[in-house]
Each structure stands twice: as structure tokens, then as C-alpha cells.
Amino acid sequence: MATVVDSSNPKSDFPIQYRELNYLNCSKGWKSWFFTLDHKRIGIMYLIGVTCAFFLGGLFAVLLRTELLSPARILLSADGYNQMFTLHGAIMTFLVIIPGVPAAIGNIILPVMLGAKDVAFPRMNLGSFYLWMFGAAFFLAALALGGLDTGWTFYTPYSITTSTAVITALLGVFILGFSSIFTGLNFIVTIHTMRPPGMTWFKMPLFLWALYATALIQILATPVLGITGLLLVVERAFHIGIFDPALGGDPVLFQHFFWFYSHPAVYVMILPAMGVVSEVIAVHSRKHIFGYRFIAYSSIAIAIFGFLVWGHHMFVSGQSKVVAVVFSAITFSVSIPSAIKVFNWLTTMYKGSIRFTTAMCYALAFLFIFSIGGLTGLFLATLATDIHLHDTYFVVAHFHYVMMGSSLVGLFAAVHHWWPKITGKMFSEFWGRIACLGVFLGFNLTFFPQFLLGTRGMPRRYYTYLPEFQNLHILSTCGAYLLGLSSALMAATLIYSVYRGKKAPANPWGGASLEWQCSSPPPANNFDHPPLAGDPYIMESVVYNEEIGGYVPVECQGAKKGSVTASGDKEA
């Protein structure tokens, strides 16, 4: 085990790598966690919550896929199937992907990246975690109170007439919405007012830009979801005739309101993951990010354009032709900023010295999967093809490529990238990479066949199917099993490292942004003095030091032997 510089050794030239007293052990007892105002602890609690929700949602998914092994009944009744896919979708969107990167990883990393001591409103931060817990409790209650079978979209009029627990679930969504709003609000204010000296807007790490854009969407779109959900609750409880056609209401209006939030919400899911990928690719290619401003601006562009395309979910809901054409055109244009990002990441890797660390492997998987997911979105945005593809497995495959394959894989990349910083432990790269390979293969095996199924006419949300679809369904189910096992392996690897992993140095990967300057794991107040921020992508500013097993600033390295240049090559 490499020696790490402890705080007890003040004579060392190197920055402090490890402290006996850090945010994880500076206070003990359940109260010190449940009432903590420390953003890092709150982030950890989010991470644990999100992981539990992920495995619950995953369990539902596995049950669904098992049911689809054959057109006949295997495990679930038809109604049971409807409830399963609804809760799977609702849990995965509202409890896992939306809070995943921003609330869990963002909470831990954002203030540290800013060199700040905490987010702007620590109490509100804790509050939004508890709102998340409440929301999750409502979802579980909905499960217990007879399930929910409307699909995660709650389309009227069925959601008004079904006898399942729509109100409970909607209240859950409402509460989760506020949790999300408060997180976003906190992040925007923190980024505006708490940047350290020297960090101008265009010296911010791109992850912060991404979180900023995400937060903008969160506070601008989520209130609309809140009020829509509330109106639907009131509609069900009091029959106000807003969405209920029986009372003269307009059920399609609900779709408009819903997608006005939920399309921007898909960018709440993807933007943070894109930010993660920007960081991971630059650091693990040991190269300055290419096209910094383009990536930063494209995040904002996506956030803005995202508000103007909701109609593409309603091409067959009876829109006027003109409206449909306009929405289709804007939808095409929203893919431009996404493509800009992909090209910039590729160019960043070009001639970099790429290391296939686990985090990097996930980032590469992201690139591959996101490209497919984004491009298939264009098929759906095309009016003529969408008539055929709407409500088929093609849509299912499309959004799983972007949500599961991109957002979630982005979350995995983030977890692996910042794991040493968060826990102070190194995980096994070997098992990490195996798990990554499993996730990648399992994912594609699960969802690629669904593109084929969709183009051949297999409708989504069906419990049974024509016999000619069975082979592809079986493939897909096998993929789901592989995916489940691999994510379990990933979790096992990470959890194992907490107990048995070696101590992490402050900067294991050679990142130049501020979070790598404080020890691993950070002390309770992150930095004793506000650090000076420079360009976060000058990878030459740190060099590898074998004694420490991590990167140190060039200034400290001096003439010591065994040094390695920034690009990772051994010096002669």
C-alpha cells in the first residue's frame, strides 16, 4: 500500500492526502446523519436512497421481462403486469434518474468543486432530502393501497376512472417535484454566489454548467408538473371537470401540461450525465476538454429548446398539422446541441492518453449508447415514421437508450469517478470493469431487440404478444438478467471497497478541478481556506507521484524521481 500523506505529518511537501478526521467520521450516531446539514452526508443519504429505489425498480423490471418470456401467463396477471410497469416507470424516473446525478452526486461534489464550504441553503438541502423520502413513502403506499395502473404518464381520462391509488401516487409525484425544485434552486444560488476567487463563469468545470442548466429546467418545469398533478388529484377527488370529458373537460390538455414538464424533465435526466461525461473523458484522457464554450453553451441551449418540443409526444393525439410540423422541426433542432457535445467529447479523446479505468469505460459506453438513443429520437421526431412507431417498443427502446443507457450509465460513471473522493477508498478496477462490460452488453442485449420488435409492430405496455415476436422477447429478457447481475456486481464491488479497499489519495485520476485538491474523503468543512481556482482542465498542472499513488501539483513534485508527465508517460 502506498504511503499517504497524513495530516499528522506537517513537514511533507505534498498537499494533505488523507486526514484521520473527515466528514464521514467527524461525528457519530444516527442523529449526526439524519439531522446533518453537511451537503456530503446528505448526498450520501440520497445515494443510498437512490440505490435502494434502483434495485426495487430493477426487481420490477426483471419481473416484467420474465413475464414477457412467453405470450402466455408466467408470473403476473394482466392487471398485475399493468401495475408492475407503471410502478417500474414511476420509480425509475421520479426516484432514481431525476435525483440520481444532481441530488446525490451533485450534492456531494458541487460545493467541493466550487471550493465552498456548503451549498447556499443547507437546511433546505436537508429538507429536500426529506421531501424525497416522503415522496418515496407515498409511492410505496400507492403500491400497498392497490397499486397503480395508469403508466407513469397518468394519462386522462383513464387516470380519472381507474380504481387504483392514483391520488396517493400523484401526491408522491407532487412532493418529489418540490424536492427537485429545492435542489435546483439551491444549486443555482450556490453557483451564482459562492464561486471562489478566480473562478469566472467560463472557468467553471463543465459538470457545474450541466448542473446549472439542469437546475434551470428543474425550477422552470417542475412547478407545472406540480400543479398538473394537483389538478388531477382535485379532479379525481372533487370532479372539477377540467380534464374529465364526462364533465366537459379536455383530456388532451392534461397531455399538454404533462409533457410541458416531462419533456424538459428528460433533460433533467440527461444533462447532468452529460456533465459527468465531460469531466470523466477529459480527466481520463489526460487532455484539456475540447470546445469548452460549445459544451457549456449547448447545455444551456438544450435547457431552453427542451421547453419547446413537448408536442412531439402528441403527434397522434389530434394536434393540428401546423403545430405538429412546428414541433417536429424544433425537435430536430434540439438534437443539434446534443450532437455538438458528442463531437466535442470525441475530439477531446483524440490524441489523448486514454486510460480505460472503470469510470472511463462507463463514459465510453455512454457515448455509444447515447448516440443510438439520440439518433432514434430523430426517427420519432419525423411525423410520418412516428405514426408507425408511436406507442411501440421502438419508443420503449429509444427512451431506455437515453434514460437507462445514458443517464444511468452516466450516474455509474460519476459514482466510479468520484468514489475515491466520496469514500476515501479505491475499488477494484478489475471487477469494476467486468461489471461495466456486463452492463454494456446486457443493456444492448435487452434493448436492441426492442427496436426490432417496435419496427415490426409490437405495441408497448402489452402483457402478451403474437408468437412471431417471442424470439426477440427472449433475447431481451436474457439481456435484462445479465444487466441485473452486472449492476449487482457493480454494487458489490463498490461496497466491498468501503471495507477492504485501499486508501485513496487526494487525486487518484489526475483531475485539475478543485475537488481533487482537498483530501479524500474531504474534511467536514471541505477547505480551510478558499482555494484559488484556475482552468479546471489543465491536466499538466498535476503529475503522478508513485510514493503517494496519486497525482500532486507540479509545484510540489519538484525534482523528485519517479515522476511521470502529465500525460501519464514515464519520464526518461
| Smallest distance, Cu ion to C-beta of residue 436, A | 28
Q: Does 266 bind ligand HEM (CB under 6 A)?
A: yes
> Residue 374 or 508: which CB sits closer to ligand HEM?
374
Select from 77-85, 133-141, 389-397, 504-512 the region that touches ligand HEM (CB under 6 A).
Answer: 389-397
What is the rounded distance in angstroms from the CA atom of residue 164 to the CA atom of residue 149? 7
Name which of other proteins, ligand HEM, Cu ion, none residue 121 binds, using a CB cut-off of 5 to 8 Å depending on partner kind: other proteins
Contact predicate 208/275, CB 8 Å: yes
Q: For residue 426, what is the enclosing H or E element?
A: strand 425-426
What is the rounded distance in angstroms from the CA atom of residue 341 to the CA atom of residue 553? 29
> Residue 69 or 189: which CB sits closer to other proteins?
189
Residue showing the smallest CB distance to ligand HEM in the complex: 377
| Smallest distance, ligand HEM to C-beta of residue 154, A | 11
Distances (CA, A) of 458 to 125, 380, 398, 417, 442: 44, 16, 14, 39, 21
| Smallest distance, other proteins to C-beta of residue 378, A | 29
Angle at 404 between CA 403 and CA 409, to 5 degrees: 110
> Residue 226 or 449: which CB sits closer to other proteins?
226
What is the rounded distance in angstroms from the CA atom of residue 381 to the CA atom of residue 29? 53
Classify the phi-psi angles of 14: left when phi > 0, otherwise alpha if psi is within -120 to 50, otherwise beta. Answer: beta
> Residue 264 or 405: which CB sits closer to other proteins?
264
Select from 258-266, 412-420, 447-455, 554-562 the region that touches Cu ion (CB under 5 A).
Answer: 258-266
Q: Does 99 bind ligand HEM (CB under 6 A)?
A: no
Contact predicate 517/506, CB 8 Å: yes
* Cell digits of residue 19: 486526514
The Cβ of residue 339 has, within 10 Å, a number of other Cβ atoms equal to: 13
Select from 7-15, 20-28, 260-268, 395-403 the region that touches Cu ion (CB under 5 A).
Answer: 260-268
Q: Does 409 bind ligand HEM (CB under 6 A)?
A: no
Enter the DSSP assignment of 545: E
Backbone angles phi, psi at 550, to 5 degrees: -150, -170
> Residue 254 or 292: which CB sits closer to Cu ion?
254
Select from 73-81, 394-402, 415-423, 491-499 the region that touches ligand HEM (CB under 6 A).
Answer: 394-402
What is the rounded distance in angstroms from the CA atom of residue 352 to the CA atom of residue 41? 35
Name which of ligand HEM, Cu ion, other proteins, none residue 226 binds, using a CB cut-off of 5 to 8 Å depending on partner kind: other proteins
Candidates 263, 286, 416, 425: give the one binding Cu ion (CB under 5 A): 263
Question: Could you list the residues that contact other proteins (CB under 8 A)?
Answer: 116-118, 120-122, 181, 185-186, 188-189, 192-194, 219-220, 222-224, 226-228, 231, 234, 238-242, 247-250, 253, 257, 525, 530
Which residues are CB-contacts of 372 (< 8 A; sequence separation ≥ 6)?
401, 405
Q: Which residues pair with 564 in a beta bridge?
A: 544, 570
Enter the DSSP assignment of 307: G
Looking only at the bridges linking them, the beta strands covering 425-426 and 502-503 are: antiparallel
Contact residues: ligand HEM, CB under 6 A = 153, 266, 269-270, 312-313, 331, 334-335, 338, 374, 377-378, 380-381, 386, 389-390, 395, 398-399, 402-403, 407
Residues that bind Cu ion (CB under 5 A): 263
